[in-house]
Structure 1
Amino acid sequence: MSEFDTLGLSQALNDAIAQAGFSEPTPIQQRAIPLALDGHDVLGLAQTGTGKTLAFGLPLVDHLLAQPGKPAPKTAKALILAPTRELVNQIADSLRRLTDHTKVKVATVVGGQSINRQINMLQRGTDILVATPGRLIDLMDRGSVDLGQVRHLVLDEADQMLDMGFIHALRRIAPKLGTPRQTMLFSATMPKQMEELSRAYLTNPQRVQVSPPGKAADKVTQSVHFLPKAEKPTKLREILSRDTDALTLVFGRTKHGAEKLMKGLVADGYNAASIHGNKSQGQRDRAIKAFRDGTVTVLVATDVAARGIDIPGVAYVINYDLPEVPDNYVHRIGRTARAGREGEAIAFCSPEEGDLLRQIQKLMKVDIPVASGTAPAPGTGEGVSRRGGGNRRGKGGGGGGKPANGQPAAKRRRPRRHRAA
């Protein structure tokens, strides 16, 4: 007997869970699923890699299995919003493992793919629609989707949606949804704006928190190397050479820098690929598949991938460039030590990034162990320019160009920026 059997899910869904290979619910699943089954709005907080997708996905599918009738053309019964294409695909794949032999249909709409194909798919209606907000609004503007039948709304990785300015899109989408409805909001961190978001869109929510916001997964071993920017390429290759077969995720700050770094690694004989905002959806999907399969062992990414990669076999996460937003460090290193495994997170910190590291350690309430070098004194560096001016590397480096979103900081929160998400 599976421990999922004790949570109140239907027998049909428990059978699907067993067939999918899940046997023991995680803490966030144990606490959130019964509340969601009872119809409560849920505010779920848990570190990455702890099973938030099933925490909202299982009760959502359970509710839909109990509802009679097929969805009408252009409609959906449930809407899941996520900030990136990769995360949308990850969520949909997880849900399809549970709904393959049921009447519940799962569909996705994201930027970077044929909108006409998505219009045709929506014409048939769907039970669960998983979407990025930008593409969903494009479809709404064309009259290709009717959200009036949505009675379940899920906001996944809602803090990243706030960081990326999706609040403007949410303000357009929410009034089009049906009422009454159940809303579930899940996140790994809890910035101040999240409280405002929960008050605006959740009704008497039940708060489920299984770890302090900003806390890394327990089985992640962290370390930091203090070194000049020009020495980062050499240190990266030194680390990669220690275990050439291990799956390693390397994070850069900019699209240009990630691509340059990847090409330098390939030239040096490493099996590397990259994903960032300048890549088409097909290119990103192929790179992630090759990484999952082990054909590619080094994946260089910007933060577009920080929450869209659910690959249990990732052994190392290397922060080649520290993120400008401290919360993103938590999400980056959450790509390793998933599903109970162990993993290692290695950070490079140049003198210019000293303040960024201090912000990360303040958020996490820990001092990251020093692997080499000496930490710069507070205030000795100016941090990293948000316009990309401080990111240039030497030969083989990983920086340069615009920020990963391709726009200067002053324009980041313009709502039209997300049309291609």
Structure 2
Amino acid sequence: MAEEDFKPCNFHEMELDDRILKAIAKLGWVEPTAIQEKAIPILLEGKDVLIRGRTGSGKTGAFSIPVIQRILNSKQSSKEQGTKALILAPSKELCQQIYNNILELTIKCSREVQCVDLSPQIEIAAQRPLLVERPDIVVATPMRALAHLRAKNLNLKNSLEILVIDEADLVFSFGYEDEIKEVFKPRHQRTYLPRVYQATLASATLSEDVLSLKKLVLHNPVILKLQEPELAPASQLSHYHLAAEENDKAVILYALLKLHLVRGKSIIFVNTVDRCYKLKLFLEQFAIPTCVLNSELPAAIRCLSVNQFNQGVYDIIIASDENALDEPHAVKQLGKKGKRRKDKESGVARGIDFQFVSNIINFDFPPDVNSYIHRVGRTARGTNQGTALSFVSIKERPLMEEVENHLRDGYAQEEKVIQELITMRAYQFKLEEVEGFRYRARDAWRAVTRIAVREARLKEIKQEIMNCEKLKHYNCEHNPRDLLSLRHDKALHTVRLQAHLANVPDYIVPPTLKSVAGISRTRKRHFNRTSGAAGTSKARAHYQAKRSNPLACMEFTGLKKKRK
């Protein structure tokens, strides 16, 4: 589609139902994003569409709003209740996110439009009652949808009008190729779907897998590909790199977090599950609470962790961005070769709507360009500002240069971007200035042995499985406050804790940082007392108000004057 074919319009100019407009207003969506502005009118016309937009561009709203509008329109003439829309997504977390988004958009028409999420990993028979009344919208992973189609719990042959596949570039890499091919057989061979329906593919990239799905699912589609980089512009998202070898990463992270040089909600990415727990146990010794997110945890717990993070229950998540999320078809071998059981329907780096994330910290540098883009895409969503800080060792330097070249090529399409903003700026950090932190960090890092990590993994999984069982019999809607008791940032206590490590004595803080971190002689005692629970302290609220810009104080070296 050419740019001149579109005329700018607002939500109220798209001929949407008043009930949808009220829900949009309640969500605080002042105006549609670029992809929503272009996709919604085309989808309302009934055309097949391939939506390509960077993460955080509003693709979920772009296909959800037309789905709801089409269902409300069909309600006026249809005589029988039936499932009109099927939305497929590669992970349980993304399914629940789409489901929640639809619930928010149908809050004013919940009686007319019913939606169910089939992604939770429970018995197929237990979900059968959800489908008896033929809900208007069904959200599921391809595996769960096919299981219900085979069991004849879900009947789409005579009722389906709209089909959506979100994060289409991940569907095959998550191991759903066989399921997709069985569901989407040629028109004359179809068992589960009608011959004619409207289809939509939404994706952050136009990979070979997406093009294969396009041939399989879409018919004469409109391709919407915005002329924009894969990440937010440089004026909105700042990229930094910090030279750090393996022995220095833990020291630097400890100093950044304990001195509050990193402000706001943060996601720390590592490459393996073991690294998740090693880093959690390390920070636990300094009374820095963190939540772990990986594919070994039950889906209900992962979704609850994301929701509580979005609600501000805790500020730091340590997420493992495993090979299953980056290497095509890598998930298929996990069940055969992997020693530990992982959930192939899990995904942290892609699609999940982490809200108001200020910082992404790559403790382990991503293995490739796509992984970097998807990690960093968790911040600077919508119109929010964000910062990405990557620890880079000498061995990882070529990977960083590859990412930097890719970002430069993407941003070069924007004439307004200044050339100097395109590069990943160096984070000015003199390690010798925090030498006092090194001794503490070195001992704490060594204390986290392989045995401690293994015990922490087992303890965490057992505890979360117990919590998951509680959630099955718990009414979350009527008791939202009680869910806070199921916090996921509690200490695991597989490493001996020393109480004095929770405090930061004044003598180990470099003089150039005392004013930045808000430490003075009169405030020393109060800072030590509040540093372990800074997320809820008045002191941290004061510091955040004083330095609200995420990572604003990163270039602290050489400061001569106190900030006013």
TM-score by length of structure 2 reads 0.62
Counterpart for residue 526 of structure 2: none
Query: Secondary structure of the residue that 1:44 maps to in structure 2?
Result: strand
Partner AA of 2:253 in structure 1: L
Instruction: Return closer, same or farther for 1:289/1:70 CA change in 2, 3 Å cut-off.
Output: farther
Query: In the TM superposition, what whole-angstrom CA distance separates every residue of 1:255-292 from its partner, at most 9, and x where no partner exists?
Result: 22223322322232112111111111232133223312
Query: Deviation at 1:197?
Result: 2.4
Matches of 2:405 and 2:193, distance apart in 1: 39
Contact 2:362 2:389 in 1 (8 A): yes
The aligned residue for residue 243 of structure 2 is: 226
SS at 1:49's partner residue? Answer: coil
What does residue 150 of structure 1 align with? 160
- 1:214–1:23: structure 2 CA closer, same or farther, 3 Å change rule? closer
Tell me the distance in 1 between the aligned counterparts of 2:83 and 2:54.
29
Match of 1:210 among 212, 216, 226: 226
Work out whether 1:123 is the aligned partner of 2:179. Answer: no
Q: Which residue of 2 aligns with 1:182?
A: 198
Matched residues in 2 for 1:217 and 1:201: separation?
Answer: 32
- Whole-Å separation in 1 of the counterparts to 2:79 and 2:104: 20
Counterpart of 1:240? Answer: 257
RCO comparison, higher one (Cα < 8 Å, 6+): 1
Tell me which residue corresponds to 1:285: 303
Asked whether 1:172 is paired with 2:182, we answer yes
CA RMSD of aligned residues (A): 2.7
The residue type paired with residue 171 of structure 2 is M
User: Aligned equivalents of 1:253 and 1:200: distance in 2?
Assistant: 33
Distance in 2, matches of 1:285 and 1:71, equals 34
Rate the CA distance shift 1:332–1:203 in 2: closer, same or farther, 3 A. same
Equivalent-residue separation in structure 2 for 1:216 and 1:167 (angstroms): 31
Render the CA deviation track for 1:292-317: whole Å, top value 9, x for unaligned: 23221110112321234323321111
- The 5 Å alignment of 1:6-405 reads 6-68=13-75, 69=78, 76-102=83-109, 103-148=112-157, 149-175=159-185, 176-212=192-228, 214-218=230-234, 219-241=236-258, 242-243=260-261, 246-303=264-321, 304-364=347-407, 365=409, 367-371=423-427
Structure having the higher Rg: 2
Using structure 1 for the length normalisation, give the TM-score. Answer: 0.82
**Cα displacement string for residues 293-348 of structure 1 (whole angstroms, at most 9, x for unaligned residues):** 32211101123212343233211111122333422321211111122110111112
For residue 457 of structure 2, what is the aligned residue in structure 1? none
Distance in 1 separating the partners of 2:239 and 2:50: 29
Specify every segment of 5 or more residues in structure 2 that has no aligned partner in the other structure, as ranges: 1-8, 186-191, 322-346, 410-421, 430-444, 455-564
- Mapped to 1, the partners of 2:218 and 2:105 lie a distance apart of 26
In 2, are the aligned partners of 1:85 and 1:308 still within 8 Å (CA)?
no
Deviation sequence 1:225-281 (CA, Å, 0-9, x none): 222123222222222232566211111112222233223222321121111111112
CA apart distance, 1:31: 0.6
Instruction: Say whether the 8 Å CA contact 2:240–2:388 is kept in structure 1.
Output: yes
The alpha carbon displacement at 1:206 in A equals 1.1
Contact 1:71–1:125 (CA under 8 A) maintained in structure 2: no
Helix, strand or coil at the partner of 1:314 = coil
Bigger mean CA deviation after superposition, 346-355 or 34-43: 346-355
CA distance in 2, matches of 1:17, 1:85: 25
- Counterpart of 1:163 in 2: which secondary structure? coil
CA 1:255/1:134 → structure 2, altered by over 3 Å: closer, same or farther?
farther
Letter in 1 for 2:314: V
Contact residue 261 and residue 397 of structure 1 kept, 8 A: no
Asked if 2 retains the 8 angstrom alpha-carbon contact of 1:45 and 1:211, the reply is no
Higher strand residue share: 1
Partner SS for 2:184: helix
SS of aligned partner of 2:84:
strand
Residues 243 and 296 of structure 1, relative CA distance in 2, 3 Å threshold: farther
- Contact persistence 1:123–1:144 (CA under 8 A): yes
Query: What SS does the aligned partner of 1:332 have?
Result: helix
Tell me, in whole angstroms, the C-alpha distance in 2 between the residues paired with 1:274 and 1:363: 30
Change (3 A) 1:226 1:173: farther
Letter in 2 for 1:239: L
